[in-house]
Structure 1
Amino acid sequence: MSEQPAEEKADQHLDETAPGSEESEQPEEENDRPQDPWAARRELHRHAPTAIGGSLVGGAQTGVSGGSVTGDVVLGTKIEHHYRFGAATHTSGSIPDSELRDLRQVFAGYEELVHPLVDRLRDERVLVLSGAPFSGRRSAALMLLHALDAVPVRALDPKTRPTALNEQVTGDTRGYLVLDLVTGHDAPLRDIDLWSVRDELKQNNAYLVITVDLFAVLHGVDAVEWQPPSPESVVRSHLHHLVDDPPRERELLGLPPAREFLGRTDHQLREAAEFAKALSDHAEGGRSLDQLAAFGRSMIQEQVREWFGGDEASLRDKAFLISLAAFDEAAYALTAEVSDDLYAQFQGTEDANRRARVGVFGTSITKRLRLARATAYWQEEHTEWGPVTQRMARFQEGRVAAEVLREVWTGHPSARPGLIRWLQRLANDGRPLVRTRAAVAAAVLAQADLPSAMALLIEGWAKSKRYRDCLVAANALATAHAVGAPNVPAILRTWCDGDPAEPRLRWTAIRGYALVGAMMPREALAALADAARTGEDEQEARHIAESAALLLTDESPAVREQVLRDMAELLGDAPSVRRLALHAFVLACTHTDDLLILRWYATAGERGGPEDARQLAHLWRTVLNDMRYTSEALKALGDWVREADQDPEAERHLAVLLPALAVTGDDRKRIGHLLATLRDRRGDAPLPVAARLSAAL
């Protein structure tokens, strides 16, 4: 499911304590060491969601912003919800004839979707339509009843017990509708209930359509699974009704926002109907093109508010939505596992004296994902045990994940205690993916409300006595900066220059600069140089050098070039800063599996970038002549030569580099001795490539 070192048990996330809190303060363990920084960076990039992972490289930023939706929200071919505060909601009564007339004018997909069901309803008198929320089931039910001239239509109370349905269809009305009948394990809808109501309907020459959601409890009922019309057909139908000018309609549908909207097939029908209204408003000059382009963001915000602002979704469903937001594009089993833990945390918030209860079975993957407007797919995941094929889950619209986290954090403060406990437990998990997702979630919360996220989560991790917790804080800050959270550079600078009594805050900032540096390379290297000037600890000096080396091996060539230029200038700085530059360069050469620095030197010359090649060669000669780093530098060169024994391209690159390093007689002797004494990795035999490279000198 995810990477999990053998010494770190996966069930560590059950630990109740929070890093950084007084009750969780633990003595520093003797074996508590920072994770290798290159491995930590790979984990962050690998385990972050796609949208955010890309933003951590080279400084691209992502985020969701947008307007809001006001007024009625149209669902499919009718108005389902009216956001008018104080208005009464009547769940029983006759449906106005005007609504049926409007529906006939805009309904899409009658011939292929509704008409085939007419004969069945005529024969059976009662039909059950099952489907996802906002898929146009009510509209389809009304069209079915209208096709049989079963009007007027009387809407029955959805809380009517299934055993009492036959008592509700005894009047003179010919058409009846129950919208989203409420069922449960103590009140399922059974086939016997339908037989009973069918007898009553036959006596009165009437018809009944019942719609149920995906979680309805049905016993022996042959429900019709409703397949809605395509969002595009709904847009076209509504737009034609509103504009009634085919050339103008085609022009509107050709606008970039319309092409983008119609390019997706996962829109709810209410969104399609509302988008048609937005296009009509634009045609009449009431909505600008920019406002039209912001429509999708507004719908996302409205959907998320609906999930968490109403009672349609259960508490367990809401916990799953939040978990999916944090673990978007991760394995479904992992998402479900941690969502049940969050569900237990929320139960504790609702009633601290009640023991949390989480049902072991009874959840449906299909229904859960439909509710969340998510999709499942199979994908190969790389683990320390090799590639494993997993069933993954993600929101159909990538921007939903961040919006869910922001809405819960800022719009529902009562959820914060449970959410905080949950994230702290995730950060304490033995699986790197889980810890990374805790950091990413905290970053999104920081973008929405920086002071609270810092005080309640990130700062506690940063002050922890465990390096692993500090790394979660560094990952959170780097990701927060990538998604647009304010003041992250100032926070890092304050911690880096801060009180020596807070060494873990300082370490968090030093590692944070390595991760956020791609977005601010000059500022990051300058801050690390200042830390080197004021630091006195050798271990910290190595951590600073590792962060600088990470900047020098960034994936972005522009970032590397900037860091190289600034690092070369540090050679003339104070001794501690000079040592930082040399140590970082040696580490960069040693820790790159793909010979990045060697390839950089060779291609810099080929591209006509002699300045990069000159500075790289200068740094190489400097480290080879500095007694502190000569041994490490020769080891790095030796590893490159061993790689070249199996890689002709690497051999060609070394044939270009080595002469540039052998400027003086001492240089030639040093490199010549290395090549003459170098053995293969088993230490048995000399390397043929070494002899060929000696000739190149």
Structure 2
Amino acid sequence: MTDTDQPEPDEDTSTDPVPEPDPEPAPPESEPAQPESATEEKEAGAKEAGDKPEKDEEGGIRQAQEQAVDPENAREWAQFASQMDTAMKAMLGLGAGGFVGTGGTANFFLGDTSVGQVGDRYPGGHGRSVDMRVRSGVVAAEVLEQIEQSYVEPAGYRELKYLLEQRQLVFIQARSGTGRTMTALHLLAGVCAEGVHKLDPDVELKTLSAKTFKPAHGYLLESLDPAQAAEFRAFHAERLGQLMRDNGSMMVVIVDESVRLPLHEIGDLVVTDFGRVKPELLLRRHVEWGLSDAGDSAGPDVLSRPEVKEIVAQLTEEVPPRELAKLGELLVEVANERLSLDVVRERYSRASEAGIAEWFDAQQDCEQRAFVIALAVFNDEPVQLVSTAATLLADRFRELEIPDPADRTRDVFAVQLSWRVEQARAELVSEMEDTGFGRVRVRKARFRDDRFPRLVLEQVRAQYTEALDVVTDWLLALGGIDVPQVRIRAGVAAGMLAQYDFVSVYNRIILHWAYSGDKYERRAVVAALQVLGSLPGFDRVVAKLLREWVQRRKDPRLRATAARALGSTTSMSPATALSLLRTASREALRDTSWLATSNTMYCVGESVSDLFVRAEPGQVLRALERWSRDKEYPERRETALLALLMTSRYVEVTVDTSAEPWPVLLWLAEHDEEHRELIVVLFSRMLLTADFMQRGYREMSTWVRRARREPTIVAPLARLLREIGEHSGELDSIHFYLRKWAGDREGPAAASRAVLERFEEKEGQP
């Protein structure tokens, strides 16, 4: 943030640098990236000639607008979120909290989606499991309700609750997987009547002020930085406790077991063991909860089956609650006959992590191991994609094992695919997939045990350092391939590996992709950071990294990448993400290249559209209204209007009573007065801004075209257009365009006439 910028309300102005190696690596040397579009050719030619591209602010704005209204870009935007969900589920068993795009836009379902349910990977599943990767910000009431329904109090729960009620501040120090997050959320929801918030991971605990806390609200800090932990003292705790006592709020801070706390100062606030729960009791609670809405479709009591009793008998109190919840979810699928019990038995009776290590070591040759690793990265993708990626990796292994170029023969018919799949403990399945041109049937390969993708990569990292070097270079190359599934899966795998060796993966893969300036590699970075930010303890690392790229770096490629990642990251609250996007928009037009300006503006617009869907629409609209005020910098106003245009074009609302989706801004204006006022103000500003005036009218024409297919839009659209015209003083211009469209034989003439008729009703215009 520049010295002249003022922070927005609730903006965290911390400037702690991201932990990275010293000295800082130079931008990687690589082949020049191919132009992202034909408009880049002029600038690319100037670079080849050694000339500095001429700065053209209007050219950058025009280019960003062209990108914004390109249907292919809208389709890619929606597709990226859907593919990230698929990739996250395949690697981690978790959803990315995204949305499914249709027809080049995203279907939008109103409500707080900051924390959501994870859909089941098995066909027909209810998707009842709770995604505990709680995003910073308000924790949705439905998630707290789900926790209440499935939670079992451990032995020390009452003492923990009593301590929180007495002191307002409690530290829970425990390892990941012990149920610490669910316990904290359940605890706060029970004692704080007005709701629960999760704080940004990089918040400075000892400097929190009274404005942070709302009366009768609970606050969760899910990860405490070791440096903060070392500096926290008793007087800091007393100050925080007093602030919360004054308004009846409470806070739980989760600390990893490896972090050292000054127990001589705050030991009376630290709980290291809140007790255990009998595995069978917690498992039964999860199964009963999962079957609670199944009705007659559910089978008999699945826990009474002899095969299930055999599995349960092997469970000990050392089994993490997270794994018991997963077992309960799978048994619900068994009860509803959507999953074979053999899959559950294989996972919990035979395939221990030690067994997986032995199995991987027993794979016969580099070709088979390459296939297994490729399947870990591309789990549940088309089998041909897995096989091609495996061949590329095997060739890299062979270069290391057989350096003689003359000795590289391969018998392409030596091993059947079915054998490789069976040896990989995988299966081939036939499913329908949306290609963008229609749904087609594809054959996919997936592990039978959904832990294998993560465990295979962990085995390579832990035991095969030379092979890991090869895999790292392979992932780096995959990130630049112009195939959406490839770059996203490469990014997800890189993010997974980064938790074990952040510095190495950051320097060798993530930073290289970010410096390339290529939009495909930029999306691979977004995927990697989204995974890394969802892992315990790394949310604060990702938050500081993104802040550093936006605020301190002068390289526009890093700024654009950070701007693109801010819309989907779970490492900070939507308010903080919007604040950093505000800063990025200020810097966009300072770039010496109009192409860099265009890229940053467009990436900000994509992230704003992401936040519109993933966070709360009113919060985003209020931010755009502030950014577009006359007193703001012109570049920030331009970026705000571009983001408004993209949100209008990219996001739709599915309405039960309508055959066609509604444009999201039209729907919100019709159903929420506060949103309507903001939308009217923002579109009025668009019509009064020279660079966006024509785009505003063109967007209105797309709404009119939608009315041709969905007549229920006609009256609401006419009312909104009239209100925009009255507020902006452009009523006559809007009236002129409606008449023009009504007479256009190649346009939506009938729909325009219908809207025009309603538009003229108020004043009785002829």
Give the TM bin, normalised by the shorter chain: 0.5 to 0.7
1:518-550 C-alpha deviation (Å, 9 max, x unpaired): 963222221121122234245444434433433
Structure-1 separation of matches of 2:728 and 2:388: 65
Give the aligned partner of residue 494 of structure 1: 548
Counterparts of 2:514 and 2:598, CA distance in 1: 19
Q: 2:381 aligns with which of 326, 330, 334?
A: 330
Contact map agreement 2:514 2:557 (CA 8 A) in 1: yes
**1:250–1:448 CA distance, 2 compared to 1 (3 A):** closer
Residue range with higher mean Cα deviation, 435-444 or 354-363 = 354-363
**Residues 604 and 613 of structure 1 are in contact (CA less than 8 Å); yes or no, is this contact kept in structure 2?**
yes
Classify 1:379/1:498 alpha carbon distance in 2 versus 1 (closer, same or farther; 3 Å): same
Q: Aligned residues: percent identity?
A: 25
AA in 2 matched with 1:489? A
655 and 330 in structure 1: CA distance in 2 versus 1, 3 angstrom threshold? same
Instruction: Work out whether residues 330 and 394 of structure 1, in 8 Å CA contact, stay in contact via their aligned partners in 2.
Output: yes
SS at match of 1:589: helix
Select 2:562's aligned residue among 509, 524, 527: 509
Amino acid of the structure 1 residue aligned with 2:729: D
Aligned to 1:311: 362
How far residue 51 of structure 1 moved from its aligned partner, in angstroms, is: 6.0
1:627 Cα deviation (Å)? 2.7
Distance 1:589 1:277, change over 3 A: closer
For residues 30 and 542 of structure 1, do their structure 2 counterparts lie closer, same or farther at Cα, with a shift above 3 Å needed? closer
> How far does residue 290 in structure 1 lie from its aligned partner after superposition?
7.5
Q: Distance in 2 between matches of 1:384 and 1:303?
A: 41
**Counterpart amino acid of residue 693 in structure 1:** R
The count of aligned residue pairs is: 484
Shift of 1:326: 1.0
Q: Name whichever of 681-690 and 466-475 sits farther off.
A: 681-690
Tell me, in whole angstroms, the C-alpha distance in 2 between the residues paired with 1:375 and 1:626.
Answer: 57
In the other structure, the counterpart of 2:224 is: none
Report how far residue 66 of structure 1 moved: 5.5
Partners of 1:349 and 1:385 lie apart in 2 by 41
Cα distance between partner residues in 2 of 1:597 and 1:618: 20
Aligned residue in 1 for 2:603: 547
Contact 2:585–2:600 (CA<8 Å) still a contact in 1?
A: yes
Unaligned residue ranges in structure 2 (runs of 5+) = 1-25, 41-63, 90-94, 99-112, 116-130, 134-174, 179-277, 291-298, 300-306, 328-346, 654-659
When structure 1 is superposed on structure 2, of 618-627 and 362-371 the one drifting more is: 362-371
**Aligned mates of 1:570, 1:429 — CA distance in 2:** 36
Q: Distance in 2 between matches of 1:275 and 1:650?
A: 56
Amino acid at match of 2:717: L
Give the match for residue 563 of structure 1: 620
The structure with the larger Rg is 1
Partner of 2:455: 403
1:45 to 2:97 alignment: no
SS in 2 for 1:463: helix
Preserved CA contact (<8 Å) 1:375 1:394: yes
- What is the DSSP-based 3-state SS (H/G/I as helix, E as strand, rest coil) of the residue aligned with 2:379? coil
Give me the whole-angstrom Cα distance separating, in 2, the residues matched to 1:683 and 1:596: 20
2:431 aligned with 1:379: yes
Aligned-CA RMSD value: 4.1
How does 1:126-165 map onto structure 2 within 5 Å?
Answer: none
C-alpha contact (below 8 Å) 1:442/1:453 kept by paired residues: yes
Structure 1 unmatched runs, 5+? 1-18, 68-248, 264-270
- Partner of residue 524, structure 1: 577
Q: 1:639 to 1:391 in 2, by over 3 A?
A: same
**Aligned residue for 2:492?**
440
Q: C-alpha deviations, 1:297-321, integer Å up to 9, x for none? A: 995533432233x335433222111
Distance 2:477 2:444 in 1: 22
Shift of the alpha carbon at 1:377?
Answer: 1.4
Shift, 1:454, TM fit: 0.7
Q: Which amino acid aligns with 1:635?
A: R
Q: Paired residue for 1:674?
A: 737
- Report the alpha carbon displacement of residue 38 of structure 1 after superposing the two structures with TM: 3.5
Task: Indicate conservation of the 8 Å contact 2:641/2:686, yes or no.
Answer: yes
Instruction: Confirm or deny: 8 A CA contact 1:590 1:636 kept in the other structure.
Output: yes
- Cα distance between partner residues in 2 of 1:344 and 1:422: 10
Pair 1:55-2:87 in alignment: no
2:641 is aligned with what amino acid? L
Q: Residue 374 of structure 1 contacts residue 394 of structure 1 at CA under 8 Å; is this kept in 2?
A: yes
Q: Classify the secondary structure of the residue corresponding to 1:579.
A: helix
The answer (yes or no) to whether the contact 1:552–1:563 under 8 Å persists in 2 is yes
Return the letter of the residue paired with 1:570. Answer: W
Distance change >3 Å, CA 394–CA 578, structure 1 → 2:
same
C-alpha displacement at 1:445, in angstroms? 1.6
CA contact (8 A) 1:319 1:340 kept: yes
Post-superposition CA distance 1:176-223 (Å, at most 9, x none): xxxxxxxxxxxxxxxxxxxxxxxxxxxxxxxxxxxxxxxxxxxxxxxx
Return the offset for 1:634.
1.0
8 Å contact kept, 1:551–1:563 = no
TM-score by length of 1: 0.60
1:289 and 1:521 map into 2 onto residues whose CA distance is: 29
**1:694 lines up with 2:694 in the alignment:** no
Looking at structure 1, the residues matched to 559 and 487 of structure 2 have their Cα atoms a distance apart, in angstroms, of 21
Q: Residue 389 of structure 1 aligns with which residue?
A: 441
Q: Taking structure 2 as the reference length, what is the TM-score of the superposition?
A: 0.55
Residue 610 (1) aligns with residue 662 (2): no
CA–CA separation in structure 2 for the residues paired with 1:407 and 1:65: 20
Measure the CA separation in 2 of the matches of 1:253 and 1:619.
Answer: 51
> Pick from 521, 524, 529: which aligns with 1:472?
524
For 2:36 and 2:724, the matched residues in 1 are separated by 44
Which AA in structure 2 matches 1:671? I
Residues 471 and 32 from structure 1, CA distance in 2 versus in 1: closer, same or farther, beyond 3 angstroms?
Answer: farther
**Alpha-carbon contact 1:521-1:551 (below 8 Å) kept:** no
Note the alpha carbon deviations across 1:584-612, whole angstroms, 9 max, x for none.
21232244476988444434653xx4222
